[in-house]
Amino acid sequence: MDIANSPKPSRIKKTYRSLIQKYNNAVGILTPYTLYRWIFTISLIIIYLVRTLTLQGWYIVTYALGIYLLNIFLAFLSPKFDPALEMDDEDEDEEGLSLPVHEDDEFKPFIRKLPEFKFWHSATRATIIAMICTFFDFLNIPVFWPILVIYFFGLFGITMKRQIKHMIKYKYIPIDLGKRHYTIQKNSN
Does 19 fall in a domain? no
pLDDT of residue 80: 81
Does 71 fall in a domain? yes
Backbone angles phi, psi at 53, to 5 degrees: -70, -40
Does 116 fall in a domain? yes
Give DSSP secondary structure letters for 65-112.
Answer: HHHHHHHHHHHHHSBSS-HHHHHHTTTS---------STTSPP----B
Query: Average of pLDDT values for 43-54?
Result: 95
pLDDT of residue 186: 66
Does 43 fall in a domain? yes
Which residues form the domain of 105? 34-88+97-169
Does 108 fall in a domain? yes
Give DSSP secondary structure letters for 10-34.
Answer: PHHHHHHHHHHHHHHHHHHHHTT-H
Does 9 fall in a domain? no
> What's the predicted TM-score (pTM) here?
0.72
Q: What's CA 81's distance to the chain center, in Å?
A: 16
**Torsion angle of C-alpha atoms 73, 123, 19, 113, degrees rounded to 10:** 0
Asked if residue 93 has pLDDT above 50, the reply is no
Distance CA 61, CA 145 (A): 11
Does 40 fall in a domain? yes
- Dump pLDDT digits (tens) for 132-143: 999 999 999 888
pLDDT of residue 104: 58
Does 140 fall in a domain? yes
Distance CA 26, CA 22 (A): 6
What is the number of domains present in the chain?
1
